[in-house]
Amino acid sequence: MPSTRSESEFSFPAVYRIRSGSDFDCVYAEKQRAGDDVLLIFGRANQLGISRIGLSVSKKHGNSVQRNRRKRLLREAFRLSRKQIPLGFDFVLIPRVIETPTLKCYRSSLIRLTKKIARRQSAQTKKAE
């Protein structure tokens, strides 16, 4: 059955993931963060032309099944919202401990907070010039 949308539009290849510890450390060292009741996001501009995410889900969220579910929801929220998220950033997503996380709440929070970090970063860059 042919689909009307291209497969690459909804794929989530490895280039969109932050995996190395040094990349996580660089994002944390930038000290650009934004948060709400659902997510805490650290961000840093990169020179790649794409935005990437790294996930940090602590044991406060429950056993491995519950933590992995939150990771799947966060990856899906990023995948579906990629067009609304600013380009050229690395983001580390840390979910807050909430009772029942939903894809909808993660998506709305992710879009809003990533745009907030991008605005701060651009203001900081203009200030430095």
Structural domains in the chain, CATH included, are 12-128 (3.30.230.10)
Closest CA to 103 of 92, 114, 115, 111: 111
If one compares 20 and 113, the residue with the highest pLDDT of the two is: 113
Nearest alpha carbon to residue 125 among 88, 97, 96? 88
Asked if residue 41 has pLDDT above 90, the reply is yes
Task: Compute the average pLDDT of residues 43-61.
Answer: 88
Please check the confidence at residue 114 and state whether its pLDDT lies above 70. Answer: yes
Res 4 pLDDT > 70? no
pLDDT mean across residues, the chain? 83
* Residue 10 in this model has a pLDDT that exceeds 50: yes
What is the pLDDT averaged over residues 25-40? 88
Q: Does residue 2 register a pLDDT over 50?
A: no
* pTM, two decimal places: 0.81
pLDDT of residue 1: 41
pLDDT of residue 126: 65
Structure confidence at residue 128 (pLDDT): 64
3-state secondary structure the chain: CCCCCCHHHHCCCHHHECCCHHHHHHHHHHCEEEECCCEEEEEEECCCCCCEEEECCCHHHCCHHHHHHHHHHHHHHHHHHCCCCCCCEEEEEEECCCCCCCHHHHHHHHHHHHHHHHHHHHHHHHHHC
Whole-number pLDDT of residue 3: 45
